[in-house]
Amino acid sequence: MGSRFDTIFRVSIILKGLDAVAEIIGGALLLFITPSDITHFVGWLTRSELAEDPHDYIATLLNHSAHHLAASSTLFGAIYLLSHGVIKLFAIINVLRDKYWAYPVLIIVLIGFVVYQVIDIITKHSITMSLLTIFDIFIIIMTWLEWEKKRKHHIEAVNKD
């Protein structure tokens, strides 16, 4: 596993970091946006599509979901996204800084999120969540392989001394 693996690993971790930043931004926005604001925005966003096709599946689903938002669910979403994003970003930054301890931390954090996501997938059948979970599993595997490589180098360095 040479430089191609290293490049794939680094790009994957950076993408996961961008995902974490997006979660933080989304969570922060949910703290200040009311369910009514979301309903109005989704209505504006889907208006032309529903004018063309009143039975458009995605536009109808978005509108239905927006109308059923409650203040408690937006608060839960904000807390979930903020905590999820901050924890992931912390671990990812430290992996990118090549902190040895951060590799197992990132693996454990992502495994915890994958367990939650799988439960969510089973109950809600979300294709988007399924794709994100597959990406998280890929990141776990890549992080494990990178950590193993670092462990071997660490052991070799200790044995030389």
CA–CA separation, 7 and 18 (whole Å): 16
Residue 132 has pLDDT above 90, yes or no: no
Between the alpha carbon of residue 68 and those of residues 53, 73, 86, 99, 137, the distances in Å are 22, 9, 27, 44, 31
Q: What is the mean pLDDT of residues 115-144?
A: 90
Place of tokens 């052991």: 155
Q: What is the mean pLDDT of residues 3-7?
A: 87
- Residue-wise pLDDT for 9-37, tens only, equals 999 999 999 999 999 999 999 888 888 88
Residue 160 has pLDDT above 80, yes or no: no
Count Cα atoms within 13 angstroms, Cβ side, for 67: 7
Residue 54 or residue 15, greater confidence? 15
pLDDT of residue 161: 63
Quick one: pLDDT band at residue 102, thresholds 50, 70, 90? very high
pLDDT of residue 71: 66
User: φ and ψ at 56, to 5 degrees?
Assistant: -55, 125
Buried b vs exposed e over 119-152: b needs ≥16 C-beta within 10 Å?
eebeeeeeeeeeebbeebeebbebbeebbeeeee
Quick one: pLDDT band at residue 118, thresholds 50, 70, 90? very high
- Residue-wise pLDDT for 65-91, tens only, equals 887 776 667 888 889 899 999 999 999
Going by C-alpha positions, the residue among 46, 126, 66, 20 that lies closest to residue 12 is: 20
pLDDT of residue 67: 79
Residue 130 has pLDDT above 80, yes or no: yes
